[in-house]
Amino acid sequence: MPDELDVLERHPKTSEPGELMRPHNMTCFGCGPESPHGLHLEMYAGEGFSVDAKMPVQQWMEGGPGVIHGGILSSAFDDVMGMTPRLIGPAAVTAHLQVDFLQPIPVGKTLHLHAEILGKQRRKIYVEGVAHLGDPDRPVARANGLFVQIDVRAHFADHVENSAKAAEYLGGKPQL
Ligand SMILES: CCCCCCCC/C=C\CCCCCCCC(=O)SCCNC(=O)CCNC(=O)[C@H](O)C(C)(C)COP(=O)(O)OP(=O)(O)OC[C@H]1O[C@@H](n2cnc3c(N)ncnc32)[C@H](O)[C@@H]1OP(=O)(O)O
């Protein structure tokens, strides 16, 4: 992370600490309630510049026998960490994501995910993530990511017609 950072301020319209955050896209694999095969993560705004979510580790998420698939864990981090920019302003997309797998994460447990903005410089937002199984002092995974703020309309302009929600986005009535 660079030394010279911008001052962080919560966006006046963002969710209050403890409040459920709105999915950024109803069919998002991570947080979309309408995603047919998604994680259906419910995200809560935390104190400061943080977001929390809990994910029951289900059988279909299995990688090694009885434990979570690394890609599922990475996806969960991606989405929870990707939600933190909304606390401060324009949406951001993942430019870089790095995950440390510290312990096996068993099927049947509930994974607690916490993401927090470490700093921002221009459009770059540095975010860390941590996951545990109920005891915050015993993390089972950690992540670091770089998210880059975008103009959502310009960024998705060439792709939005492929969205399951294309009719709504192109009909001028985005949910967001
Ligand atoms: C009408 C439509 C309406 C639709 C409404 C929908 C609303 C939806 C809302 C919200 C969506 C949020 C979704 C979150 C979902 C969870 C997160 C994901 O899974 S996102 C998917 C995976 N990620 C991507 O697909 C990104 C693909 N990459 C890109 O598009 C570009 O590379 C992008 C935008 C990341 C950067 O491209 P540049 O051209 O805009 O900007 P440059 O100048 O290259 O980078 C800006 C700064 O970032 C650094 N940078 C960029 N990539 C870097 C990297 N990999 N490592 C280190 N630094 C990097 C650069 O060095 C530069 O830094 P310096 O300001 O000059 O210091």
Q: pLDDT digits over 21-49, tens only?
A: 999 999 999 999 999 999 999 999 999 99
What average pLDDT score do residues 90-97 get? 97
pLDDT reported for residue 171: 86
According to CATH, the topology of domain 43-166 is Thiol Ester Dehydrase; Chain A (3.10.129)
CA of 127 to the centre of ligand 1 (A): 14
> How far apart (Å, rounded) are the C-alpha atoms in residues 40 and 33?
5
Q: Is the CB of 89 under 6 A from ligand 1?
A: no
pLDDT band at 8 (very low <50, low <70, confident <90, very high): very high
CA of 56 to the centre of ligand 1 (A): 29
Cβ-based neighbours of 60, under 8 Å, separated by 6 or more:
none
pLDDT reported for residue 114: 98
Give 105-137 pLDDT, tens digit per residue.
999 999 999 999 999 999 999 999 999 999 999
pLDDT reported for residue 34: 97
Residue 121 CA: nearest ligand 1 atom is 65
Torsion of CA 8, 101, 106, 82, to 10 degrees: 30
Evaluate whether 124 touches 57 at the Cβ level (below 8 Å).
no
pLDDT reported for residue 11: 95
- Residue 81 pLDDT more than 50? yes
The ipTM of this complex is 0.95
Evaluate whether 127 touches 116 at the Cβ level (below 8 Å).
yes
The pTM of the full predicted model, rounded to 2 decimals, is 0.96
